[in-house]
């Protein structure tokens, strides 16, 4: 297999290094934005050099973002080349279009590294569906937020201090918004739900609340009552279709998610016959992520042509199909919150069971009035 890499950053460099040790995979072109002396002989600034090279049969897109990645991937698929990508933003936003284009051109589109980094999550989700019906998927899908929540629980440090530590270690970007506001995990959930339930899920329709406003006082209240707070993603089959949401969640200290430390992920599916199976590992990193890109290339080399599921059918998300109690802390309580309050924990209150969509919409609106508002579901 002759591979063209789109991008030569952390993951692209890892793919290149892995392929250097193999005889069945050769990186023969690399699309770059700046000079890379170590690959000068195969570097190009033009996508046309890749599209018009008949010897290249597979394109590995590891540049990230939606544009121009989408246009490059479309050009590769239209040129009859297989595409492997680690780009969760692209697949979450355009997966149904791109899978249809791959099918039309008789080529493969694979994206195992887009969800879970080095965890072989999507391929195992695809595999279980051959003999069972998946009823729920989700879990810890973002290493940055897990590092922050774990450190706050173990050290008692404030959110800002732990975020700065995560940035210093390279776990968080200079602008950490996509992680701490839940956008990253929401994209991964949209892809996972699509594969699990054979539908196309509109990523931006998934109710989401992040961890930006959590405080060490909140964490103290949780620990005193035997809970650990994690940013969790959940999607499940329900009577009206599919329910999906992302929110800080209080789990009992003995549950598997509570024990996940540092920047690790724990992603889970529940199936009717098999029950619960979870996948633990690095959710990012050079070689873990690059390894799944290369595994996709090997699957294609072995004859794998289909996407993980048929995601051509767009579904709307069921509202308030799931209800549970919430911890809510706000400096601006209102009539709705007072009407559902049943207890007090430290600086926050506990509600009766409230529909997820109702509560997360309320919380998002409340942030405009009280920028420090924080909510967490109680499982």
Percentage of the residues of the chain whose pLDDT score is greater than 70: 100
Q: Are 198 and 204 in contact (CB under 8 A)?
A: no
Q: Where are the domains positioned within the chain? A: 2-110, 122-282+315-321
Flag whether pLDDT at 131 surpasses 90: yes
- How far, in Å, are 37, 67, 191, 292 from residue 113 at the CA level? 27, 19, 12, 5
Domains 2-110 and 122-282+315-321 in one fold: no
Angle between helices 88-104 and 183-197 (to 10 degrees): 30
Flag whether pLDDT at 291 surpasses 90: yes
Flag whether pLDDT at 283 surpasses 90: no
Rounded Cα distance, 201 and 192, in Å: 9
Its pTM surpasses 0.75: yes
pLDDT band at 240 (very low <50, low <70, confident <90, very high): confident
Mean pLDDT, residues 46-65 taken together: 97
User: What pLDDT score does 171 carry?
Assistant: 87
Topology of domain 122-282+315-321 in CATH is: Dihydrodipicolinate Reductase; domain 2 (3.30.360)
For every residue of 159-170, DSSP letters joined together read: HHHHHHHHHHTT
Three-point CA angle 61, 57, 19, nearest 5°: 65
As annotated, the active-site residues are 188
Looking at domain 2-110, which CATH architecture does it have? 3-Layer(aba) Sandwich (3.40)
């Amino acid at each position: 297999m002759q591979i063209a890499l789109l991008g030569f950053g952390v993951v692209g460099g890892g793919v290149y290094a892995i392929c250097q040790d193999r005889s069945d995979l050769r990186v023969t072109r690399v699309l770059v934005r700046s000079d890379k002396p170590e690959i000068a002989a195969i570097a190009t600034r033009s996508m046309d050099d890749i599209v018009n090279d008949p010897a290249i049969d597979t394109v590995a897109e590891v540049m990230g973002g939606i544009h121009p990645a989408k246009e490059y991937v479309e050009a590769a698929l239209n040129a009859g080349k297989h595409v492997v990508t680690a780009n969760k933003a692209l697949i979450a936003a355009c997966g149904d279009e791109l899978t249809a284009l791959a099918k039309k051109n008789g080529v493969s589109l694979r994206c195992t590294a887009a969800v879970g980094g080095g965890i072989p999550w999507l391929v195992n989700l695809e595999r279980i569906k051959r003999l069972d019906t998946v009823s729920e998927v989700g879990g810890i899908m973002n290493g940055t937020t897990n590092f922050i929540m774990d450190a706050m629980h173990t050290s008692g440090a404030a959110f800002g201090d732990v975020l700065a530590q995560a940035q210093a270690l390279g776990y968080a970007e200079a602008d950490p918004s996509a992680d701490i506001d839940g956008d990253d995990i929401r994209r991964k959930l949209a892809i996972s739900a699509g594969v699990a339930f054979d539908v196309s899920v509109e990523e931006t329709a998934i109710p989401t609340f992040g961890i930006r406003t959590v405080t060490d006082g909140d964490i103290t209240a949780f620990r005193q009552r035997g809970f650990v707070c994690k940013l969790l993603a959940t999607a499940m089959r329900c009577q009206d279709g599919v329910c999906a949401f992302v929110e800080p969640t209080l789990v009992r200290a003995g549950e598997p998610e509570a024990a996940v430390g540092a920047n690790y992920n724990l992603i889970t599916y529940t199936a009717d016959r098999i029950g619960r199976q979870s996948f633990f590992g690095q959710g990012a990193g050079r070689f873990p992520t690059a390894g799944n890109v290369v595994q996709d290339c090997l699957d294609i080399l072995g004859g794998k042509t289909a996407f993980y599921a048929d995601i051509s059918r767009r579904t709307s998300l069921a509202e308030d199909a799931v209800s549970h109690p919430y911890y809510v802390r706000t400096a601006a309580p209102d009539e709705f919150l007072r009407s559902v309050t049943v207890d007090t924990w430290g600086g926050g209150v506990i509600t009766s069971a409230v529909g997820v969509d109702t509560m997360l919409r309320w919380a998002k609106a409340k942030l405009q009035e009280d920028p420090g508002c924080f909510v967490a579901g109680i499982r």
